[in-house]
Structure 1
Amino acid sequence: MNPLDQLPIPLLEWYRDNARVLPWRSDPTPYHVWISEIMLQQTRVAAVLDYYRRFMAALPTVADLAGLEEDKLLKLWQGLGYYNRARNLQKAARQIQEDFGGRFPDTYEAILTLAGVGEYTAGAISSIAFGIPVPAVDGNVLRVVARLTGDGGDIARPETKNRMRQALLAVIPRDMPGDFNQALMELGATVCLPNGAPLCGQCPVRALCTALREERTGELPVKGAKKARRIEERTVFLIFRDKRVALRRRAAKGLLASLWEYPNELAPAPCPVEAAGLEPGCGGRHIFTHIEWRMQSVVVTAASDALPQGWVWADRDALAGEYAVPNAFQSFAHLVEARLG
C-alpha cells in the first residue's frame, strides 16, 4: 500500500485547523504568492513577515516592481540576503509587462518561463493562485515524502525529486491543490522537522509513516554531503570623517553584486586611504553558501575627504535610506552607528 494514497484527507483536515495565519495566505493573488515564495527561499517565515509587508506597501503591483530603480529595490531587500532573488523578481516583472501585457501568466508552463522561477515556485503559484493541480516540491515536502514512503534516495539528486513529484502528482486533490501543497509545506515546517527531530506525536499522518514505523526518522531523508566552504580571512576598513563612513560598490557580477560595502580585502591589507588615525575594531564572521568570511575590522580616521574613484561618503541618513549594505557586515554596525552620531 502506498501511504500517499491515503494522505490528502487527514492532511487537509489538519491544515484547516492548524495553518498559520500569513498575509500572503489571506490574500493569495498571483503577485502576493510569487513575492512570498521568492522571499521564503532559504529564509524563515518569521524573518520574511516584516519584509513582505514593507515590500507590498512600497510595490503593490507588478508594474511598480518593474519600474523601480535597482538601487532602491536592493535597499528594500537589504538584510534578506541572496540578492539575486530581488534582481530576478524585477526581471520577471519586466517580462510580465513586456510579454504578458502586464497580466500575471496563468499557466504552469508560462509561469515557469519567468526569471528566477523553477519547478517548485511555478507549482506553488499555479496551485495556490490559480487552482492548477501541480505539486510544489521544496525541501520540507521532500522530507515529508521521504519519511512517509521510506524513500532512501538522495533528495539533492534530480531523479529523486522527480520521482517524489510524480508520486504527489498522482494524489494531489484536483479541487484543493493549493491547500494540499501548503499543507505539506506546513507539516514539514512545523511538525516533520529536519535533523532527526520530528514531532511525530503531533503528526496527523503518523499512522501512514514508514519511517516512524521502521524507526528511521533519524535516517531520512538522505541528502548528500555539501561541498566544504572556502575560508577567507579579510580586513574590513571602517573609514570615518565628519560623521560619515566610506562605502564602495562591489562589482556588477559575482558575490553580493552591485551592493555597497565597507572596503575590505584579503588579510593582511594596507589602509586604502591616507589616515590621521588607526585603531583596532572588532571581529566578525559571515557564512555564504560556499565561502566563509572571517573578518577583523580596523577603524580609520581619514586625513581628508579624498577617496578612491567610485567610493562615497555616507552619513547616517544616507546609510539608512539610500545605500544597501549586506548583512555580511552586520558585526560592525554598532561601531559605525557610534561614529556617525
Structure 2
Amino acid sequence: MSEPLLSVKNLKKFFQVRKGFPNPKTVTVRALDGISFEVQRGQAFALVGESGCGKSTAGRTILRLLEPDEGTIEFDGQDIGKADAKQMRALRKRAQIIFQDPFSSLNPRMRVGTALAEPLLVHGLMGKKEADERVRDLLEEVGLPRDAGVRFPHEFSGGQRQRLGIARALTLNPELIIADEPVSALDVSIQSQILTLLRDLQQRLNLSFIFISHDLGVVRYFCQVMAVMYLGKIIEKGPVPKIFDEPLHPYTVMLRDASPVPDPTARKAFERIEGEVPSAVNPPSGCHFHPRCPHVMDVCRKVYPDFIAVDAERSVACHLYADGRGGLPVAETAAAIG
C-alpha cells in the first residue's frame, strides 16, 4: 500500500471548562482521547457517531484550527503539529474544510465573489482580474450562475450556500477536504444533489475527503472506509461495505439499524439501546459503552478493551473479540492492516 496522504496517531484534545453553581469547578472534557487513522490519496474516509462524540473536534484539530494536546498529525509526510506559521500557511493551500453551517461560515457583509477571491489574493496566486475569472469558473463548477458572485450570502438558499462553501474549499486546489456534516442541515432532495456534486469533484480532481457525519446512509453512498467514534475514541474501523454487512461493535449495530432503509415495505427488528451518551467530563469506567450495551460483561465495566484486528482490513475495540473470540492484538497484525 502507498504512503497515506494523512496519518493521525494518538490524537488528543481536552478542554477545561467551568461547571456548577454557585461554586463552579474546573473540569476536563476529553473531546478526543487518543484516536488514530490514515487517509489514502483519492479516498473518502468517514468519521461517524452521535453528536458529542468528538467528530467535529477531530476535523478542526487536524487542520490546527484547534491546537492538539497530544499525538501526531502527518500530512504528506510533514508533521503538522511542528509546523510554524509560514509552513502552516503553505499547508492550508493543500487542506481545506467545508463547515456544517454554510451561512454562519460566510461573511454576511461580503459579496460571495469577494469572499471566494480572497484566498487567491492573500496567497498571492493571482491578480484581481485572474482571481475574478477563477471565481466565475468555480461558481459554474459547483452548479451556480457565473454572475452569482455579485450577490450576498442571504440572497442564496441553504443548498446554494453549501455550494458556495464547497467552492470556497476548492479555491486553492486542495488535496484534502474535511467535510463537517456538509448535508445535515439540508432537505433530502438537496442532500442528494450536494453528495452527487462532491462525488463528481472527488473523482475528477482526485480529492481525498474526511467526511464527518452521523448519517450512515450518507456515508454508505459517499465513503470507502469509515471509523466509528464514541465518546472521543474510535471503536471500530474498516471498509464501509463490510461494516454495513457485518458490524462488529454493538454501538455500530445500533447506528446501522437506526439508519432509514429506502424501502417502505422493508421491516426489520433490532436490539434496542437504552440511555444517552455519557458525559465526556466523567466517562464510565471500563468500556464507555457498557451502560448501554446489550452484551455487557463484568470485564466491560472494569477494563477498556484493546483495539483488536479482526482481519487485514477491520479492527474493533470490544471485549467480545478478545481472548481468541474473533481477533488478535493490533500490534501483531500492524503490517497487515497498514
Q: Which protein is richer in strand relative to its size?
A: 2
TM-score bucket of the superposed structures, by smaller chain? under 0.3
Larger radius of gyration: 1
Q: Which protein is richer in helix relative to its size?
A: 1
TM (norm. structure 2) is 0.27
